[in-house]
A and B are shown apart, each in its own frame.
Chain A
Amino acid sequence: AQKVTQAQTEISVVEKEDVTLDCVYETRDTTYYLFWYKQPPSGELVFLIRRNSFDEQNEISGRYSWNFQKSTSSFNFTITASQVVDSAVYFCALSESLLTGANSKLTFGKGITLSVRP
């Protein structure tokens, strides 16, 4: 069975600090996708990034970067120079065997609440 662990539950930083959100996953599949979603105080879930199991390249998008390491089953998310608008709950999620209908489900971690103080 697949599992996603986000050991950090709440993180508080001061604006402009860098912060890393950890995500560790478990799966027996060799083909899988990892995702990060953001849930701001308004409540909607916003897709941030998708990474497949064959692509271990790190990705940077503005102040956001993601580090995928299969050797440690981790997919960590770093926000550089954090801003108050980054305050949200961040979810890491895993989906196995996307080409098989029965396994098209997303398994979410419990989320990390990030508070960025001015």
Chain B
Amino acid sequence: NAGVTQTPKFRVLKTGQSMTLLCAQDMNHEYMYWYRQDPGMGLRLIHYSVGEGTTAKGEVPDGYNVSRLKKQNFLLGLESAAPSQTSVYFCASRRLAGGPYEQYFGPGTRLTVT
């Protein structure tokens, strides 16, 4: 039982390049989330999904797209990376109902855009 895993752990991109971050969970959780963490800003929600095939915008969605084609996977895409997207990205998941309601986080992906 690996919990929540993220691929890759580190990545350096040049401005304008694209990439996809993969999040996978093996807990059969319905809800999945993508956050970014910046110094002094805490964690901010980018996009989330309440089930396979559904996604919704969070607090800071601009410049990102997501897809949830399979229940266990949640992909975060950057079509044209910008230096402002340099951050640590965390994926999380939780159960729909019946508790517990805490979110379980992956180890994070450190992305640098030069």
Contacts and interface: CB of A to CB of B under 8 A. Distances in A.
A104 interface: yes
B101 A105 contact: no
A65 B40 CA distance: 25
Contacts of B2: none
A9 B43 CA distance: 14
B45 A105 contact: yes
> Main SS of the interface on chain B?
strand
A24 B17 CA distance: 40
The range of chain A's interface size is: 20 to 34
Interface residues of B, number: 28
A33 B101 contact: yes
A98 B42 contact: no
A43 B102 contact: no
Contacts of B96: 101
A50 B101 contact: yes
Interface in A22-56: 33, 35, 37, 43-45, 47, 50
A111 B31 contact: no
Nearest to B50: A101
Contacts of B44: 108
A109 B31 CA distance: 21
A91 interface: yes
A57 to B, nearest CB: 17
Contact of A110 (B42, B100, B101): B42
A6 B94 CA distance: 24
B79 to A, nearest CB: 24
Interface of B: 31, 33, 35, 40-45, 48, 50-51, 56, 58, 88, 90, 92, 94, 96-97, 100-105, 107-108
Given A44-B107, A47-B103, 16 more contacts: A45-B43, A45-B90, A45-B92, A50-B100, A50-B102, A91-B42, A101-B31, A102-B50, A104-B31, A105-B33, A105-B45, A106-B45, A108-B42, A108-B43, A110-B41, A111-B42
